[in-house]
Amino acid sequence: MFSAKLIRQIESELLKHSGRILVEDISGETLIIKRQEAARPQFGYTLLNALAKIFRQPLLCAVPAPGGAAAQAIEIQRLRTLRQAGVPVPEVRHIADQWFAMTSAGTHSVDELIRTSPQQQLAVWQAGLAAILHVHQCGQNLSQAFARNIMWQDGKIQFIDFEDDPSKTLPVAYAQTRDWLLYLHSTAYQMNTDPVTLTRLWQQQLQQDDPEVQQLVQSCSQQLAFLRHLPRQRKPWGRDVVSLQGVGELLHVLRK
Ligand SMILES: Nc1ncnc2c1ncn2[C@@H]1O[C@H](COP(=O)(O)OP(=O)(O)O)[C@@H](O)[C@H]1O
Ligand SMILES: [Mg+2]
């Protein structure tokens, strides 16, 4: 719990800034203040949603995120549940009506490191795979397992951004399968390593996941491997297309 003085200080900072995230040094600790935001279209889902409709494939759909106070309540609840289950997520430090404070997961996301650090790329990508397997072995699932919501600090992964809860609308094994697909969708197209090697590394993790998840991933790969035929060039096609092409390539290699 923060003191009334500290709360006033944070709220006056929030008034001065338009962004939703404030980074504050509080008693020698870096904390992240996340302010509520109205529901908005979910970035990264345009084509996934279209595919989900065509194939009646619930795994790919964006889960409805309510925005505002309801989204904040979901996020705080999920951060607590995940932490208790042993998933590395920030710790909630204070809850206010319009914002909450949590510990920092660092300044670099897996997405950023994959894009900007070729030497670290494969190691960071694999750490992401291992961390997702760990989430599943804790009996949990993520919300939006895009690489931009996976943070990397001193060789350790933390997951952020939990304003929706897929397991409210999907069985857990489906939500876990969705984690794999969203992670690969957000990373495969950026990797400098060949798809056969990537798939082998993914498979090593996947084989340790629940058999039902493995089976669901297999059935998705039957359905979606054709995506590999999409264009590989980002221009003029855009990121949505090349990221589907990338995940299609891995699903094709995985397909039995
Ligand atoms: N606990 C945290 N530690 C470090 N950075 C964070 C943390 N929470 C959020 N951020 C930063 O703020 C950005 C937006 O936060 P996020 O929770 O992903 O909200 P959204 O994507 O819904 O706006 C993240 O991409 C990350 O850069
Ligand atoms: Mg985010």
Q: Where are the domains of the chain?
A: 4-38+65-103, 108-254
Q: Is the model's pLDDT at 1 over the cut of 90?
A: no
CA dist., res. 225 & res. 234, Å (int)? 19
CB 149 less than 6 A from any atom of ligand 1: yes
Residue 141: what residue type? N
| Mean pLDDT value of segment 150-170 | 94
Q: In this predicted model, what pLDDT tens digit does every residue of 2-31 receive, in sequence order?
A: 999 999 999 999 999 999 999 999 999 999
Q: How many angstroms does the Cα of residue 137 sit away from the middle of ligand 2?
A: 23
Region of residue 38 (left: phi > 0; alpha: psi -120 to 50; beta: else):
beta
Q: Which ligand is nearest to the CA of 182?
A: 2
Per-residue confidence band for 49, with pLDDT thresholds at 50, 70 and 90: confident
Q: Tell me, what DSSP letter sits at residue 159?
A: E
Average pLDDT of the residues in 232-239? 92
Burial label, 91 (beta-carbon count in 10 A; 0-12, 13-18, 19+)? exposed
Q: Provide the CB-side half-sphere exposure for 231 (13 A, CA).
A: 9
- Spatial separation of the C-alpha atoms in residues 68 and 71, rounded to whole Å: 5
pLDDT in tens, 67-90: 999 999 999 999 999 999 999 999
Ligand approaching nearest to the C-alpha of 65: 1
**pLDDT, position 55:** 65
Side-chain-side CA neighbours of 88 within 13 Å: the count stands at 20
Nearest-atom number in ligand 1 for the CA of 163 is: 22
Q: How far is the CA of 94 from the centre of ligand 1 (A)?
A: 16
Distance 142 CA to ligand 2 centre (A): 12
Q: Which stretches does DSSP call E strand in 40-183?
A: 92-95, 99-103, 108-109, 150-153, 156-159
Looking at residue 52, its pLDDT comes to 76
Residue 181 clears pLDDT 80, i.e. is over it: yes
**CATH T-level topology, domain 4-38+65-103:** Phosphorylase Kinase; domain 1 (3.30.200)
Helix then strand then coil, % of the chain, to nearest 5: 55, 15, 30
Report the C-alpha gap between 232 and 189 in whole angstroms.
8
Whether 131 has a pLDDT exceeding 80, the answer reads yes
Give the list of residues 6+ apart from residue 2 with CB closer than 8 angstroms, or none: 10, 26, 93, 94, 101
pLDDT computed for residue 222 by the predictor? 92
Q: Please list, in sequence order, all residues whose beta carbon lies within 8 angstroms of the beta carbon of residue 115, skipping any fewer than 6 positions away.
A: 190
